[in-house]
Amino acid sequence: MEFTLAKKEKKKRLNKVTWVMLFIMIMLVLFRFIPVEPYAAHGLGDLEDTSKIVQIKELHIQDRGAHLEPFYYTTVRTRYFDNLLEKMYSYSLKHRTEERVNLPTKNGHVPLETFPGLSAEDDLQYSISLKWDSVNNITSIALKYAGYTSAFHEKVEITNVFDNFEAAKFLKLHDEILSFNHQSINSVEDVVNAPKNVKLGDTVPITINREGKKVEFALTYAQTDESGKPIIGFQSGIMRYYDDFDINKLVAFPESLSGDSAGMMISLQLIQSITGEDLTKGYKIGGTGTINADETIGEIGSMPLKIRTAVEDKADIYLVPKSSNNDEQNEFEALKTKVEIKTDLKIVPVENLQEALEFLRSLSPK
């Protein structure tokens, strides 16, 4: 009799545990489908070899720097969250990571920085536009320093189209803008100035060249920005096309790489590959920073993560944008992170490409 009662009691406890587990599983499934405001989280990435992006064969010349140590750009891992379950999980990881004292290791997508309101679609669209602008600057500046000349022509093109705006209904990346609001377009300034004095609800024509066909659309200013200015949701930029080679094959960004923070390092790799000058001197040199049209090195995001990544991937030297005023924080962030993680990584702030080259040429071979 006692044996039977014990058996029943054990079965009752097992049933209770089963129901609790089933309830938890159901709640987790429900949380997976409860939408929340999207946001992105960044974690440690990798030092990546720039020579794998630069395809010198497209210039129909030999890669004279193929035997030299390459330059390295820095990535961060990004994960996007848009439901309650993932958000709860990310908060847990972020809390644990912030409490660490020592250098964090690469543990999957451990988020160290979060960006509320940033969805995967918005981030991708913005990053694509940065990438295309960067390719133009990288190529034109690096070729100049390498002494390589080639005829080219330029077009004013659509470099970004924002979702949920009027422009997204009609325009595509790389549409060439021929006219806007009855004004001929020859520069980005023309695009900015053409719709002056427009009001919310006004409709203006835009004429584009899409794959050799001239197309005209009527765009309505149906939304405003935060300041109340009417906008239709696109950005434009100057795209340079060379007669001797395909610019997009010369600097062949992998699909996984977005944004423009690799600009400086790819420019340096191009110069080394074209000229054969040993700029790295046997050191593992990483870095980050955009390359602007005036050859200055621009600020980037996630600097603390990139310094930590460089240390973990055993870089000897790391180039960063120089901070020349209170609005530019990259240099300060890099040096602060160096102190926090107690590393001997040599951090070198540079203001422009010429300054970076002068530092590299001053190095003694390793």
CA 325: distance to chain centroid? Answer: 23
Residue 227: predicted pLDDT = 76
Alpha carbon distance 261, 12 (integer Å): 60
Contact 259, 183 (CB under 8 A): no
> What number is the average pLDDT over the span 107-128?
46
Residue 84: predicted pLDDT = 58
H or E element: which one contains 98? helix 84-98
Residue 230: predicted pLDDT = 85
Q: What is the percent of the chain where pLDDT is above 90?
A: 37
Which of 42 and 281 is assigned the larger pLDDT? 281
Contact 158, 152 (CB under 8 A): no
Helix residue spans in 234-329 (DSSP H): 247-250, 263-275, 303-312
Residue 225, pLDDT above cutoff 70:
yes
Q: How confident is the model at residue 115 (pLDDT cuts 50, 70, 90)?
A: very low
Contact 286, 72 (CB under 8 A): yes
> Domain 38-120+252-362: which topology?
Ribosomal Protein S5; domain 2 (3.30.230)
Question: Across the strands, what pairs with 90?
Answer: none
> What number is the average pLDDT over the span 69-94?
68
Q: How confident is the model at residue 45 (pLDDT cuts 50, 70, 90)?
A: confident
Residue 93: predicted pLDDT = 46
CA 149: distance to chain centroid? Answer: 29
> What number is the average pLDDT over the span 99-108?
36
If DSSP codes are grouped into helix, strand and coil, which group holds residue 301? coil
> Domain 152-242: which topology?
Pdz3 Domain (2.30.42)
One-letter amino acid of 170: F
If DSSP codes are grouped into helix, strand and coil, which group holds residue 82? strand
275-305 per-position pLDDT tens digit: 999 999 999 999 999 998 888 999 988 898 8
Q: Where are the domains of the chain?
A: 2-32, 38-120+252-362, 152-242
Sequence-distant contacts of 320-328: CB under 8 A, at least 24 apart: 320/287, 320/288, 320/289, 320/347, 320/348, 320/349, 320/350, 321/288, 321/289, 321/290, 321/297, 321/349, 321/350, 321/351, 322/297, 322/349, 322/350, 322/351, 322/355, 323/349, 324/351, 328/299
Please tell me the least confidently modeled range out of 83-92, 93-102, 356-365.
Answer: 93-102
> What number is the average pLDDT over the span 100-114?
38
Greatest mean pLDDT among 37-41, 206-210, 253-257 lies in 206-210
Residue 44: predicted pLDDT = 78
- 218 phi and psi, to 5 degrees? -110, 120
Task: Note the residue count of the chain.
Answer: 366
Residue 323, pLDDT above cutoff 80:
yes
Alpha carbon distance 90, 84 (integer Å): 10
**CB under 8 Å to 178, separation ≥6 — which residues?**
184, 185, 207, 208, 209, 214
Alpha carbon distance 330, 354 (integer Å): 19
Q: Give which of 132, 133, 162, 129 is closest to 234, Cα–Cα.
A: 162
Residue 163: predicted pLDDT = 77
> What number is the average pLDDT over the span 153-181?
89
